[in-house]
Chains A and B, each alone.
Chain A
């Protein structure tokens, strides 16, 4: 069970209070009608599955109710950082 720092509450809380909501930083296209089916399909369905650093969207569902981002190592489960929506990660995977 992870121990997660909620950037809104400013506290470490137990994973039981949170819900994972998949990959972070997936922006809804500004003009959906201008997207091809393939572009829209990529936006809706295609997600990364990295071994190593992963930027994830979480929500403090049984706490403050706020969404935030988390950078987590999918191998060690180490949480590198949590940061608010709209902010960019300071820890990123090396380009391959």
Chain B
């Protein structure tokens, strides 16, 4: 296997470690140290994908995070599929399999290319909005076709085999970027003694120094990198994070770092290792040393494979030993690209010419190139490219010195590679994340960070300072400053190294290269490769009235790809400015948002996945429920038994059996999950009176009372039974899901409104195991296990509680009932719960004791018309709407929470929705919960809706269906008929009635 573009000896790759990989099913070879991009270029692969809109063949243009085209689908196995991997940032490993994301059926032959070629007219800017939005009903069809053809990568359909971590960290100084400036900053801050994190997205620290020709301290720059990294490694206070992208800069110097720990080792992590880690760092000070991205020039057909960024070509040659073509034309506006021509020539391949837009370039690199015999065409531009799957030649013409147009006749130069440089764009993204708008700098010819919003310093390329000497000096200075700002002494042992590098001449601002044809007639001049945005489409957008840059971006999709327009945004803004006759700063600034490069969902989720996604709460008797075949229901974080099916039973069979057991014998419910709040203090009783709607002044020790809790608007938000344990001591129960909210509600009023009240609240939910035994046999059963409480019906009455011993352990027994039956709620210390539960089951066997779950509880309480807050209420119903005015003590001296709210105009007006019972005309028909009531089922849509069904069940006790629901003015409409239209066109007829369907006098619970 030959690698036709691999240069002998050059580069930092390890030639003794050849690696095999496949791309689009074909097998290739690369070396350890390659990226997928460098390996593809070494093998002469020109086309890596098809463009999104026009389906044009696309090749690799860059060598880093800014790459727009080489976005691949990675993974040999289905489980490890990774979409949208930038080939320029994915290190090669043996056995790597990747494929083009775009291109259907193949990248070489693409249906969409024909669509794209039929005419630019078919896909003008705003195409998707304009064309595919009508008729809207067809959008899903269009979308499916476009997605398949254009390709957007795909996630695995299987479970991710890897694990991911989060690591929360603090540091004094976080240095972002490990190039010259970043290394210097880390060294300075580290020497000062600060805790430093240095993060860089690449495998190796060094940035551009890794492919630099320049010298530091009389040695190649890469030697200084090696020495500095070695020195940093010896420092305990410095943490080096390679493969780590700082992808978000958030409030208060909180930054997220996406570390790809094993992505370079294989598609899944080796045994025992975590694939990726998200560092969540709170930094004292941040040094941004993020460098700059080279800007491509915008010229006709600038997307033909072979058109690359000049510095990327140098990177491939010098770092990876890959020369991505044979005959090079360089097109530039500045000195830097001359280095590319020199690097290319040094490989022995042909440099056809350097085409420089400046009439009189005079830098040292220009002289060096000319001295090396490279042809330099001055005052000229490459304005067009010939070729489709690879560059064949370029058209060159002189640039007018007075206006943005071509002058004179064209020359055609045969070549296969065009390396362009339109200057550099500082990587201001992270600074933008903090809300700081970047500002245009005419000297830099680019945006630099605006005033810092946070504890942030800058060094090197991000400020538009590109010489190594400046980067090192600014790095040392910023690192030292950050450390002293964080409270450390200035480092002493540091001298800025001596740098030998060529002096650089003045660059020329040029963003759009004019063509012989006007912009709208010229062949496509691409601004944003990934989203196929051309100069002409920006022009069209401005002519259609989208003049603000944010509007142009949204209309054309400029910068909305996974690359966030790292290459194209500045050129796009410049072209917009030109179209509307404004300067770039007048046109606006560009804003970048997190994340800098895409982050996997795995890294975002970390360990908060699968069984750790949401914590699960279990009661003390949970294992018994599992062992006895319970089906579980999630209530808040709790796993509650839902029902206990027996072999051969349908769910309804189980419910019928459980319901009848409670009504006729004895059943037992695990009620441990109800919220329990211990309330103590001399003002506890007063506090209860203020927070509940009913009266508490006279509740005696040993007694229990049901209470409703309302918001200041008068609407019910929780309910439960509160018991008086002592004169200044109460136990409040809340709904299972509302416990935390109620506790905070009590604290809110105590801390902010009535701090003078002496009262303390403690959550004791988990301290107690609660089992409810209910049914006519429950007293007999309890008597077998309790000999120190007088269970006589007159000694221990309904709504009393007693302290005693049950099954040999201390217990609080509450005679309360949510089923309407004789019922006892037994509370024991949680760790005795299982013991007591088992004893009750054992002794209850002779009565046919039946464990029941939440669903049976719901049916039993609905038979009695007891509400469930959150199911029968929805924060629009006050106690009177619920027919529970009996629970409101209007005469209480203190204006309790909710009192004033429920007396407002709206809560007191007629015809409010009110909770009522509903009996279907067909007793076997169970209304669906949520069904809407209407007075006239034949009314034209939209029908007048009167209310909805909140609870609906089949009641085995009554042998028919029962339901509760809201109806406008329902409490005054007893006996009237309402209709529930169903989805299938049928209508269910129901009669409004009292919600108490069973034992309306309450005889059964008072026996």
Q: A28-B753, A44-B712, A57-B752 are contacts. A2–B251 as well, Cβ < 8 Å? A: yes
B842 at the interface (CB under 8 A from A): no
Residue interface mask A28-50, B partner, CB < 8 A = 1: 10011101010011011000000
Within 8 A of A (CB), among B28-86: none
Please give the number of chain A residues whose Cβ is less than 8 angstroms from any Cβ of chain B in the complex: 28
B442 at the interface (CB under 8 A from A): no
Q: Is the CB of A35 within 8 A of B900?
A: yes
Q: A32-B895, A44-B713 are contacts. A59–B251 as well, Cβ < 8 Å? A: no
> Complex Cα distance A45/B175, Å?
46
Q: Is the CB of B755 within 8 A of A86?
A: yes
Q: Is the CB of B751 within 8 A of A85?
A: yes
Q: A67-B751, A67-B752, A85-B751 are contacts. A37–B901 as well, Cβ < 8 Å? A: no
> Complex Cα distance A28/B168, Å?
40
| Shortest Cβ distance from A61 into B: residue | B744
Q: Is the CB of B453 within 8 A of A76?
A: yes
A77 partner, pick from B252, B712, B895, B899, beta carbons under 8 A: B252
> Complex Cα distance A52/B904, Å?
34
Chain A interface residues (CB < 8 Å from chain B): 1-3, 14, 21, 27-28, 31-33, 35, 37, 40-41, 43-44, 57, 59, 61, 65-67, 75-77, 79, 85-86
A44 partner, pick from B251, B752, B901, beta carbons under 8 A: B901
Question: Would you give 15 A-B contacts (Cβ < 8 Å), ordered by A?
Answer: A1-B254, A1-B280, A2-B251, A2-B252, A27-B753, A32-B895, A37-B904, A37-B905, A57-B752, A59-B748, A67-B748, A77-B251, A77-B252, A79-B252, A85-B755
Q: Report the minimum CB–CB distance from A43 to chain B (whole Å).
A: 8
Residue interface mask B705-745, A partner, CB < 8 A = 1: 00000001100000000000000000000000000000010
- For B435, the chain A residues whose CB sits under 8 A away are 75-76
Q: Report the minimum CB–CB distance from B154 to chain A (whole Å).
A: 32
Q: Is the CB of B748 within 8 A of A1?
A: no
B747 at the interface (CB under 8 A from A): yes
A44-B901, A85-B755 given; 16 more Cβ-contact pairs under 8 Å: A1-B254, A2-B252, A3-B252, A3-B254, A3-B282, A14-B282, A27-B753, A32-B895, A33-B900, A37-B905, A40-B901, A67-B751, A67-B752, A76-B435, A79-B252, A85-B751
> Complex Cα distance A31/B894, Å?
9
| Shortest Cβ distance from B894 into A: residue | A32
B12 at the interface (CB under 8 A from A): no
> Complex Cα distance A27/B753, Å?
7
- For A35, the chain B residues whose CB sits under 8 A away are 900
Within 8 A of A (CB), among B340-381: none
Q: A40-B901, A40-B904, A61-B744 are contacts. A1–B751 as well, Cβ < 8 Å? A: no
> Complex Cα distance A35/B712, Å?
13
> Complex Cα distance A92/B900, Å?
32
| Shortest Cβ distance from B250 into A: residue | A1
Chain B interface residues (CB < 8 Å from chain A): 168, 250-254, 280, 282, 435, 453, 712-713, 744, 747-748, 751-753, 755, 895, 899-901, 904-905
Q: Report the minimum CB–CB distance from A54 to chain B (whole Å).
A: 15
> Complex Cα distance A75/B453, Å?
11
- For A3, the chain B residues whose CB sits under 8 A away are 251-254, 282
- For B168, the chain A residues whose CB sits under 8 A away are 14
> Complex Cα distance A33/B252, Å?
45
> Complex Cα distance A79/B251, Å?
11
Q: Is the CB of B904 within 8 A of A59?
A: no
Q: Report the minimum CB–CB distance from B58 to chain A (whole Å).
A: 38
Query: Which 7 residue pairs are nearest across A and B when measured between Cβ atoms?
Result: A32-B900, A3-B252, A32-B895, A67-B751, A1-B254, A77-B251, A28-B753
> Complex Cα distance A51/B753, Å?
27
Q: Report the minimum CB–CB distance from A40 to chain B (whole Å).
A: 5
Q: Considering residues B282, B747, B748, B895, which has the most beta carbons from chain A within 10 angstroms of its beta carbon?
A: B895
Q: Report the minimum CB–CB distance from A42 to chain B (whole Å).
A: 12
| Shortest Cβ distance from A24 into B: residue | B752
Q: Report the minimum CB–CB distance from A32 to chain B (whole Å).
A: 4
Q: A61-B744, A85-B751 are contacts. A1–B904 as well, Cβ < 8 Å? A: no
> Complex Cα distance A11/B901, Å?
38
Q: A2-B251, A40-B901 are contacts. A67–B747 as well, Cβ < 8 Å? A: yes
- For A76, the chain B residues whose CB sits under 8 A away are 435, 453
A21 partner, pick from B280, B748, B900, beta carbons under 8 A: B748
Q: Is the CB of B744 within 8 A of A59?
A: yes
> Complex Cα distance A36/B550, Å?
47
A41 partner, pick from B250, B895, B904, beta carbons under 8 A: B904
> Complex Cα distance A21/B744, Å?
11
> Complex Cα distance A14/B170, Å?
11
- For A37, the chain B residues whose CB sits under 8 A away are 904-905
> Complex Cα distance A66/B748, Å?
9
| Shortest Cβ distance from B712 into A: residue | A44
Q: A37-B905, A77-B252 are contacts. A85–B900 as well, Cβ < 8 Å? A: no
> Complex Cα distance A90/B254, Å?
27
> Complex Cα distance A33/B900, Å?
6
> Complex Cα distance A57/B747, Å?
13
> Complex Cα distance A65/B743, Å?
10
Q: Is the CB of B899 within 8 A of A1?
A: no
Q: Considering residues A28, A35, A85, A86, which has the most beta carbons from chain B within 10 angstroms of its beta carbon?
A: A28
- For A43, the chain B residues whose CB sits under 8 A away are 712
> Complex Cα distance A70/B138, Å?
51
> Complex Cα distance A91/B744, Å?
28
- For B748, the chain A residues whose CB sits under 8 A away are 21, 59, 67
| Shortest Cβ distance from A66 into B: residue | B751
> Complex Cα distance A57/B282, Å?
24
| Shortest Cβ distance from A25 into B: residue | B752
Q: Report the minimum CB–CB distance from B836 to chain A (whole Å).
A: 31
- For B712, the chain A residues whose CB sits under 8 A away are 28, 43-44
- For A77, the chain B residues whose CB sits under 8 A away are 251-252
- For B899, the chain A residues whose CB sits under 8 A away are 32-33
Q: A28-B753, A59-B744, A67-B752 are contacts. A40–B900 as well, Cβ < 8 Å? A: yes
- For A41, the chain B residues whose CB sits under 8 A away are 904
> Complex Cα distance A59/B752, Å?
11
Q: Report the minimum CB–CB distance from B864 to chain A (whole Å).
A: 34
Q: Report the minimum CB–CB distance from A29 to chain B (whole Å).
A: 8
> Complex Cα distance A11/B748, Å?
21
| Shortest Cβ distance from A84 into B: residue | B751
Q: Report the minimum CB–CB distance from A21 to chain B (whole Å).
A: 7
> Complex Cα distance A14/B751, Å?
22
- For B254, the chain A residues whose CB sits under 8 A away are 1, 3
